[in-house]
Structure 1
Amino acid sequence: MSVTVSAKMEGGKVSRVKVHSLLSVVSGSPVAPGKVHILSPLDRAMGHHTIHIVFYYESNPFKDGPFPLDIDNLRVSLSKLLDEYPIVTGRLTRGAEGGWQVRCNDAGVRILQATVNTSMDEWLRSADASEERDLTLWEDMPQDPSYWSPFRIQINNFECGALAIGLSCTHMHADMTSATMLIKSWTEVHSGQPLTHSPIFNLPPPPSSHGNFVPSFTALHSPITPANMGTVTMKFSGSVIENCLLQVQSQCPDATPFDVLVAIFWSRIARWQEPSFNNHKCSLSICVDSRSAGHPEVPFGYFGNALHFSVLYVDADKLLSCGLGQVSQYVHSHVAKARADEFWSVMRWLDEHSNEGEGPFTIYGPRLTCINMEHMAVAENGTALMYAASFKKGERPIHVSYHVGKVEGQGLIMVMPSAEGGLARTVTVMLPEEEITNICKDQTILDLEPKMIVSGKR
């Protein structure tokens, strides 16, 4: 199908991204008739949100000779990949008990081709988050999703010959890790390599004993006041993070980059936001991935949602007055105490309440939420998972951007590895617009010399 779309940005400005074609790619081997995948209780709880990822490459891995894009080359490797991911090509439907499931009918994945009317260097300097979303154009799920593709891949060609691959999907199908693994697996198929982590779609039975941990995101039912949200992405060098870790060593000797960056941003944001008080305590929702050594029952190749949310409470006066080391210790201790049985207890609670009209939930709000992506920092040969997504040997992404759709309330902070490697980290912050302005002017953060990426800030 040939289409031409000039996306309109906020304020009526015409985007530099123009989508000019749309097609579907199906798997190379037909799926067995009648195959159905039942979404987990946690998958269904995430139905309010979407995942959007953009991989930026300095050269086009699909280029063949003088042609800007060898579409057949792209389709062949993607079709082979989809043989391993039948739920990606399927369609959502309601099961006998009313819950969402995937009918694995091999209806295919939507592929959009687009041109970007600038160079990649200029784009990374001048584009903001709202324009970047044009690299992952999305259509919300219709009332009848039987013909609607829950996965969309957008191939964006820049004037300089660079390429950005955008992936969008429902959060019901995948979290950040499994969506990243989908693209990384595509690069492995494209280069003729075996999959590092073959996808696993069903978790093993939970341990026989687990606690009674009620999901933190079910505790707040008060209406959320709508607000225009802004986004800023900052890159912090490895040397800056190393200095921060040395600064907090006496109070938090085992601090991670996540601990100190969350401590910095939370303590600064708390000065502007009206905090969520509970007996004079401020609260922070912390999201960790259960694909870790502490959760051996959740394999790294699990394709679905393996996120665990818990809430850290700190006395408001302490948060605003104590130093970076103490706040880092609060964060570090909370993450370290997250137990494997809490994840399984949440799954059980959601399953038991699935017929009571519970969910989907606004997971990323109303509390300020922080996503810990430290588990993706070292995937192979010292390279972070997202930066190991190489279609050609030696040509890794120069930047990977993550966005969660429909963030509300007090906002979201994502701490993830940077292309630089080592201790360098990228922080994407989504807050009400006036607070984004405060973040960009905050002297404590500016003293760390962050580099703004896709933030509309120079």
Structure 2
Amino acid sequence: MHRQRARSVRTAVDSRADSVHTVRTGHAGGDRVRLSGFDLLTGPWYIPLTFFYRKTLDAEALRDSLARTLRHYPVLAGRLRRDADGGLSVVCDDAGVRFTEAWSPDAMGDFGHDLRSEPVAGNLVREVTAFGVVDRDTPLLKIRLTQMRGGGSVLAVMINHTLADGASALSFLQNWSHEHLGLPWEKPNHAREVLDSLGRPSPSAAVREGRALVTVGRLRRLAATARLAARRLTTVTTRFHAAELAAMKEDARASLPGSGAWVSTNDTLTAHLWRVYGQLRERPADAPEWLGLVVGARTRLGGELPAGYWGNCVSSSWTSTTAAALRTASLGALALGVRRCLESTTEDKLRDEIAFLNSLRRKGISRRVMSARAHDAFDASLSVNNWSRFPLYGVDLGGGRPFWYEFPDVPVPTVHITPTPDEDGGRDVYLCLLEEHAGELAGPGWQARLHPFR
């Protein structure tokens, strides 16, 4: 029997900067790439990803292979500029990527669920702030390589979110890995104008009225942002092994309502986590409980995007039930609801969203769009972002595969699902919750509810 444990306390890696380099490609084309409506949704924050390696990485070799890789990612070596209509563009001027070499007086720890780490990005608040990026000489890709005493390396990668979603960020890292190892890789396509051209208002009133995005006034947006900053969240991690997931899926299958219904392992795990969180919150029986799913749009746009499209290309879909139903419904019924929520992200819905975002940019109010569920993000919502098919542990940069990946805290209650380091069919789950909920979930009683199928 596998022993399960959830941890929320993190230890900081002592990472002391030694030298800072600017990595350039040597090819400044000067093109101006206008970012899409999907790109503008995120704001100019950074995605901090941290990878831990047993072997020591070669900093000079990494810079060389990075420069070669960046020739096919000119936006990463460029700078953000504000357009006249309030949108954003990247000037591909080869201003460069920041590559910091650092060292630690400590030996490499056995990082994982039992030893969590802060994302290793130097002063994280300074590094990931969205202020001071647009119309500044601020790198859009920042890398920090920390060499640990006695061997081993920690690689922190921060990509500005306006340029890439999770799938694109990981495809860049995998392509860098392939370039570093001398392997072939597919070159990306940066044709944002093709994505924007797919916009078309839906003929369905239900689709238009059910948009997950709304426009708000400046004061309301500032109030929502301040509310996010005022709540403290903590990330708890736990692992679901393949056998446990199989038992969970079998339980859901046995309780599926109707004949011919089907749900995936990820549908089942998502439903289970949503139900446990609903039990943990104990909201009134008739209170609404909302589940938001981050959904990749590339394969849902009718095959009209270029192969290897690189940028933000995700949507979100929402489903809801009452708190009482969430706590008592069968796992199969909840998993089927998750499946239907995913399938509601149709080509028509996505084209409508693209057209809607394009219209906001034309009106100069792109910065006033936000999630329709932002007002109840802490009280009634849970967002799920599933990266279980991403090559998180395939980023080999000459030192073998990473043995651990660290995910940062995010501003709202979120479930982040990833593969395990062994990629054995299990799932690592990062639950970023309000501190009081995270503390309870880490206790033995709630651990038993979280892992009833082990």
Question: Which TM-score tier does this pair reach, normalised by the shorter chain?
Answer: 0.7 to 0.9
Counterparts of residues 85-96 of structure 1 (less than 5 Å) = 85-96=73-84
Q: Share of identical aligned residues, percent?
A: 20
Question: How much does 1:257 deviate?
Answer: 2.6
Q: Which amino acid aligns with 1:19?
A: A
CA contact (8 A) 1:235 1:426 kept: yes
Residue of 13, 17, 20 corresponding to 2:18: 20
Report SS of the residue matched to 1:146.
coil
Residue 242 of structure 2 is aligned to residue 255 of structure 1: no
What is the distance in 2 between the residues matched to 1:219 and 1:283? 20
The residue that corresponds to 1:339 in the other structure is 346
Report SS of the residue matched to 2:28.
coil
Counterparts of residues 212-291 of structure 1 (less than 5 Å) = 212-213=207-208, 215-218=211-214, 223=224, 224=227, 226-252=230-256, 254-273=262-281, 280-291=287-298
Residue 394 of structure 2 is aligned to residue 388 of structure 1: yes
The residue that corresponds to 1:67 in the other structure is none
What is the distance in 1 between the residues matched to 2:392 and 2:191? 20
| CA gap 1:227/1:37 in 2 versus in 1, 3 angstroms | same
Report which stretch shifted further, 148-157 or 247-256: 247-256
Question: How much does 1:156 deviate?
Answer: 2.1
| CA gap 1:161/1:254 in 2 versus in 1, 3 angstroms | farther
CA contact (8 A) 2:19 2:101 kept: yes
Deviations 1:282-311 (A, max 9, x none): 211111111336752345622211111111
Question: Structure 1: which 5+ runs fail to align?
Answer: 1-10, 63-70, 378-383, 450-458
Residue of 151, 174, 199 corresponding to 1:161: 151
The residue that corresponds to 1:403 in the other structure is 408
Residue of 88, 92, 110 corresponding to 1:122: 110
What TM-score does the superposition give when structure 2 sets the normalisation length? 0.82
| CA gap 1:84/1:48 in 2 versus in 1, 3 angstroms | closer
The residue that corresponds to 1:32 in the other structure is 29
CA contact (8 A) 1:197 1:300 kept: no
Q: Which amino acid aligns with 1:140?
A: T
Report SS of the residue matched to 1:292.
helix
Q: Which amino acid aligns with 1:445?
A: L
| CA gap 1:344/1:116 in 2 versus in 1, 3 angstroms | farther
CA contact (8 A) 1:242 1:423 kept: no
Q: Which amino acid aligns with 1:230?
A: T
Report SS of the residue matched to 1:55.
strand
The residue that corresponds to 1:380 in the other structure is none
What is the distance in 2 between the residues matched to 1:401 and 1:445? 21
Residue 182 of structure 2 is aligned to residue 192 of structure 1: yes
CA contact (8 A) 1:251 1:329 kept: no
| CA gap 1:189/1:43 in 2 versus in 1, 3 angstroms | same
Q: Which amino acid aligns with 2:254?
A: S
The residue that corresponds to 1:206 in the other structure is 198
Q: Which amino acid aligns with 1:435?
A: H
What is the distance in 2 between the residues matched to 1:153 and 1:297? 33
CA contact (8 A) 1:275 1:283 kept: no
Deviations 1:210-251 (A, max 9, x none): 455464142796743621110122222111111111111123
CA contact (8 A) 1:292 1:300 kept: no
The residue that corresponds to 2:6 in the other structure is none
Counterparts of residues 342-381 of structure 1 (less than 5 Å) = 342-354=349-361, 355=363, 357-359=365-367, 365=374, 366=377, 367-374=381-388, 377=389
Report which stretch shifted further, 120-129 or 245-254: 120-129
The residue that corresponds to 1:46 in the other structure is 42
What is the distance in 1 between the residues matched to 2:76 and 2:415? 28
Deviations 1:139-178 (A, max 9, x none): 4244464211121111122234222221112211111111
What is the distance in 2 between the residues matched to 1:185 and 1:207? 29
Report SS of the residue matched to 2:75.
helix
Number of residues paired by the alignment? 414
Deviations 1:318-371 (A, max 9, x none): 111112222112112221332122122111111112225343655595232111
What is the distance in 1 between the residues matched to 2:120 and 2:57? 22
Question: How much does 1:83 deviate?
Answer: 0.5
Report SS of the residue matched to 1:218.
strand
The residue that corresponds to 1:171 in the other structure is 161
Residue of 58, 71, 76 corresponding to 1:83: 71
Q: Which amino acid aligns with 1:402?
A: F
Deviations 1:374-421 (A, max 9, x none): 5xx2xxxxxx5222322349x22223333365x23xx11111222222
What TM-score does the superposition give when structure 1 sets the normalisation length? 0.81
What is the distance in 1 between the residues matched to 2:294 and 2:128? 26
Q: Which amino acid aligns with 1:30?
A: H
CA contact (8 A) 2:39 2:311 kept: yes
Deviations 1:163-216 (A, max 9, x none): 222111221111111111111111111111221353434235317674554641
Q: Which amino acid aligns with 1:371?
A: N
Question: Structure 2: which 5+ runs fail to align?
Answer: 1-8
Report which stretch shifted further, 251-260 or 199-208: 199-208
The residue that corresponds to 1:108 in the other structure is 96
What is the distance in 1 between the residues matched to 2:368 and 2:420? 32
What is the distance in 2 between the residues matched to 1:139 and 1:310? 27
The residue that corresponds to 2:119 in the other structure is 132
What is the distance in 2 between the residues matched to 1:16 and 1:448? 38
What is the distance in 1 between the residues matched to 2:178 and 2:251? 40
The residue that corresponds to 2:3 in the other structure is none
Q: Which amino acid aligns with 2:365?
A: G
Report which stretch shifted further, 167-176 or 350-359: 350-359
What is the distance in 1 between the residues matched to 2:173 and 2:274? 32
What is the distance in 2 between the residues matched to 1:418 and 1:180? 15
